[in-house]
């Protein structure tokens, strides 16, 4: 359906819509007919779906097959116990994951895009997914187009369609009936398409296509548009692969060893599979999800909304933060301070030009425009707008063509140096217009006046104008020449009172600030002096265009001030910083910031930012303040720290168990533990760790950024795993040679020792300090001690009999206490050695 080529009345008739919009009853019917305005029709994953997704784990499938085989060969007891343990483990995992997913989704929806729509003849903001064909949507500069549709009204509308066409140059749109033979998107000047962005102007359009059948939806259905994985996601994937390789090796080793000694094949298969499930990190995704979701909830309480959970790690590990100064280092309460002619005197004519330009501008009004309009109300005196040349970041100016019935003027405001370059005359009282060209001496005088204002900390706009023939009805860039330079508008934006303290905290916690701004260097340097920010080096936009990447890469490490930067130059700086191994964050809230947000490791925007910036961001600030950034970084490090506790515990205990199982398979005449006992042991162990997301994180861990390092995790595993195995083998020897243990007694003794040591070691691994100097969260302490105790009590209950566990003599518990205490002391020593000789640990 090429809706842009149909006559407008025919389109309204086909859509059964009117310019007054839809009613609630019409919307409900269309929602049933067309579905949500989204590419993925499954907007919320159900608990049942999460539960069944757990059966994609090959080890779970194999274990259930083995349980079925047990039932066939009349080992009903084992079949029932294995099935119950598997389903119980999967159920706990699914419920916790579902709760975490819901919490994360609720936070994401709180900052979701909400287009302005005409419903029941009233303008309301609605969720993006609720749009239906026939809706009337209002657009303005900075908005993302929420669905494909036909323009009804358009005023100075310029759209970036590069997402669909690859053409980065803005396209002008108008609301006219239009028909050509080639009915493609590029030949649709009266239509807007989902995902494109409004650069300037305003518009109203009727929605024609939503969701998967939009132009973007069709592309998305054929191409992978998934965001690249974060450093955290890559690290988790590598870690999972490492564990799975070790587990598969152990399973094959155990099967071959037991078959070599001619032990029962079914019992061997069940044992090997149960061992695989017991050692596999099947609870790792759940613990990670819960920890990240809880971290996101805590961050939300501190005005930081996380859109992409895995970005929490990158936020915490960020070591360079790039930002502009307005709103981040300043109050963003910009006020017009002066409107000066070239003599440095207050001039009403300069203000009138600036006011009319800002009043008639239909692009995204900047804080400077708002400050001009708020300064003083002027009557338009019959001035009417004819046309506009929107602002762009190459020209750095905006021009408005106006007429008052007597004359037609092009009114221009923008970066003083750019406007001065295209001016040939200047106003010189009492004569309105100097007849002579603007000579070099006079240019220098104007430039010096601009520099003096900048050094005083003012942001400055150049104001100029040009009279054109009244027959001139369309403004084009070529018209911006031969201007008369009228003077300056100066603005004051005070530094944030909280910025200096926040910058100090960021520096003390390992985050370097780099100011990357389009503003001039004099104003930025003045602000740095006010905030006591040392200037390590300065680079200008024109400087970086003149050097190649290798030379620039060497310079940017030492430079913390980048001025007069356009969006392309900002992206280049961020990309080069990333290539040098830095975790780079970028704060942006404007149209021009979207490319830089896409380039950064951590994209941060603010809730008041434009749609384009918020959509590109991983993290949204509800309050634009560096203290909020600092709080978010600390929460990110806290979340990462708790995830690493589980990873370190699991690697050390699992690797130790692998060594112990492999050794036991070689010399024991029976299996060291029954399959059902392994599953019970694994379930109790995993339950004890569910409280890890609640745990406290040491202050010294939070003081610097941390990166996922597989080499450190592997080294920790090789350090701590063998320590665990030493005490397993001691337990084997004591059970066999001191207690002369039978098979059942041996199983019970190792079940208790294995469970107690791998649970209690959390008190050692959870902190780099002495356990006496770092207190765990009470719930973690209670859950760990309770479940370790439960493992000791179970053999004395009826439940223990079902798992073939038997009561042990009192003397064994004395030995068990000595073994556990000795293991924890040795584990503490191993931990200290590891952190002493590892580089930054993990």
Long-range contacts of 836-842 (CB under 8 A, 24+ apart): 838/712, 838/715, 838/716, 839/712, 840/704, 840/706, 840/707, 840/709, 840/712, 841/706, 841/712, 841/768, 842/644, 842/648, 842/706, 842/708, 842/709, 842/712, 842/713, 842/716
C-alpha to C-alpha distance for 660 and 676, rounded to whole angstroms: 18
Buried b (16+ CB within 10 A) or exposed e, 688-710: bbbbbbbbbbeeebbeebbbbbe
Closest CA to 705 of 321, 322, 319: 319
| 3-state DSSP assignment of residue 300 | helix
Phi-psi region of 195 (alpha: psi -120 to 50; beta: other; left: phi over 0): left
d(CA 358, CA 568): 26
Tokens of 229: 């994985």
Residue with tokens 């890469």: 553
Rounded Cα–Cα distance for residues 268 and 264 (Å)? 6
> Degrees (nearest 5) of the Cα angle 54, 58, 62?
110
Contacts of 443 (CB under 8 A, 6+ apart): 420
Nearest CA among 432, 391, 384, 435 for reference residue 406 = 384
- Calculate the CA dihedral of residues 251, 255, 260, 263 and round it to 10 degrees: 140
Residue 324 annotated in active site: yes
Identify the helix (H) or strand (E) that includes residue 643.
helix 626-667
Catalytic residue among 135, 143, 156, 324: 324
- For 430, other C-beta atoms within 10 Å of its C-beta total 4
Extract the tokens encoding 557: 């490490």
- Residue 79: its H or E element: helix 76-109
What is the set of active-site residues? 324
């Amino acid at each position: 359906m090429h809706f842009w080529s149909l006559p407008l009345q025919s389109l309204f008739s086909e859509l059964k819509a009117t310019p007054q919009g839809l009613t609630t009853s019409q919307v409900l019917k269309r929602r049933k007919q067309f579905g949500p305005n989204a590419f993925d029709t499954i907007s919320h994953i159900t608990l049942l779906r999460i539960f069944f997704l757990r059966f994609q784990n090959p080890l779970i499938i194999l274990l259930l097959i083995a349980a079925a085989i047990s039932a066939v060969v009349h080992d009903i007891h084992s079949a029932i116990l294995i099935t119950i343990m598997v389903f119980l483990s999967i159920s706990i995992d699914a419920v916790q994951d579902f709760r975490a997913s819901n919490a994360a989704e609720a936070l994401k929806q709180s900052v979701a895009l909400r287009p302005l729509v005409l419903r029941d003849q009233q303008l309301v903001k609605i969720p993006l997914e609720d749009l239906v064909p026939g809706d009337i949507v209002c657009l303005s500069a900075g908005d993302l187009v929420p669905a494909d549709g036909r323009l009804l009204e358009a005023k100075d509308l310029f759209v970036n369609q590069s997402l669909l066409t690859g053409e980065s140059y803005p396209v002008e749109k108008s609301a006219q009936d239009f028909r050509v033979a080639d009915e493609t998107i590029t030949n649709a000047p009266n239509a807007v398409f989902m995902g494109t962005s409004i650069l300037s102007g305003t518009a109203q359009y009727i929605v024609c296509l939503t969701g998967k059948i939009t132009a973007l939806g069709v592309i998305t259905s054929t191409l992978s548009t998934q965001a690249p994985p974060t450093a955290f996601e890559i690290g988790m994937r590598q870690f999972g692969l490492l564990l799975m390789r070790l587990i598969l090796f152990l399973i094959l080793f155990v099967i071959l060893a037991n078959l070599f000694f001619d032990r029962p094949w079914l019992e061997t298969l069940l044992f090997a599979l149960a061992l695989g499930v017991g050692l596999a990190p099947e609870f790792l995704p759940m613990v990670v999800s819960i920890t990240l979701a809880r971290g996101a909830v805590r961050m939300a309480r501190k005005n930081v909304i996380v859109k992409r959970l895995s970005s929490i790690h990158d936020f915490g590990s960020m070591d360079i933060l790039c930002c502009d100064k307005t709103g981040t280092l300043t109050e963003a309460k910009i006020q017009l301070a002066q409107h000066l002619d070239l003599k440095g005197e207050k001039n009403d004519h300069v203000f009138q030009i600036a006011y009319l330009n800002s009043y008639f501008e239909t692009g995204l009004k900047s804080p400077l425009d708002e400050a001009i309009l708020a300064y003083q109300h002027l009557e338009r005196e019959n001035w009417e707008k004819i046309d506009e040349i929107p602002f762009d970041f190459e020209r750095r100016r905006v021009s408005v063509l106006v007429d008052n019935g007597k004359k037609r003027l092009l009114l221009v405001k923008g970066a003083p140096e750019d406007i001065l370059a295209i001016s040939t005359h200047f106003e010189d009282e009492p004569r309105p217009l100097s007849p002579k060209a603007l000579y070099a001496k006079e240019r220098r005088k104007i430039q010096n006046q601009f520099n003096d204002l900048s050094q005083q900390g003012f942001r400055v706009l150049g104001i100029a104008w040009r009279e054109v023939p009244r027959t001139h009805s369309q403004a084009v860039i070529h018209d911006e020449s031969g201007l008369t330079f009228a003077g300056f508008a100066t603005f004051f934006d005070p530094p944030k009172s909280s910025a200096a303290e926040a910058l100090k905290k960021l520096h003390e916690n390992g985050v370097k600030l780099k100011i990357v701004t389009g503003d001039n260097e004099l104003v930025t340097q003045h602000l740095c002096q006010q905030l006591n920010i040392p200037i390590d080096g300065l680079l200008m936009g024109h400087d970086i265009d003149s050097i190649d990447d290798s030379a620039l890469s060497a310079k940017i490490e030492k430079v913390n001030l980048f001025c007069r930067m356009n969006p392309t130059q900002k992206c280049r700086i961020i990309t080069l910083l990333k290539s040098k191994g830095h975790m780079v964050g970028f704060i942006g809230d404007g149209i021009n910031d979207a490319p830089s947000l896409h380039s950064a490791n951590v994209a941060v925007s603010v809730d008041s930012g434009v749609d384009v910036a918020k959509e590109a961001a991983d993290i949204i600030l509800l309050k634009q303040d560096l203290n909020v950034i600092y709080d978010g970084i600390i929460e990110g490090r806290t979340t990462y720290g708790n995830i690493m506790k589980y990873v370190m515990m699991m690697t050390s205990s699992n690797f130790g168990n692998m060594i112990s199982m492999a050794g036991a398979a070689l010399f024991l005449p029976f299996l060291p533990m029954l399959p059902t006992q392994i599953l019970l042991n694994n379930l109790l162990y995993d339950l004890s760790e569910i409280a890890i997301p609640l745990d406290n994180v040491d202050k010294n861990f939070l003081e610097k950024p941390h990166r996922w390092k597989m080499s450190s995790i592997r080294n920790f595993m090789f350090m701590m795993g063998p320590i665990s195995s030493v005490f397993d083998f001691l337990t084997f020897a004591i059970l066999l040679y001191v207690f002369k243990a039978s098979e059942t007694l041996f199983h019970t003794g190792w079940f208790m020792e294995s469970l107690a040591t791998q649970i209690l070691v959390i008190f050692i691994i959870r902190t780099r300090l002495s356990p006496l100097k770092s207190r765990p969260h009470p719930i973690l302490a209670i859950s760990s001690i309770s479940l370790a105790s439960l493992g000791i009590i179970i053999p004395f209950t009826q439940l223990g009999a079902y798992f073939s566990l038997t009561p042990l003599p009192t003397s064994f518990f004395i030995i068990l206490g000595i073994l556990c205490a000795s293991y924890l002391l040795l584990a503490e020593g191993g931990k200290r050695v590891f952190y002493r000789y590892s580089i930054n640990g993990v």
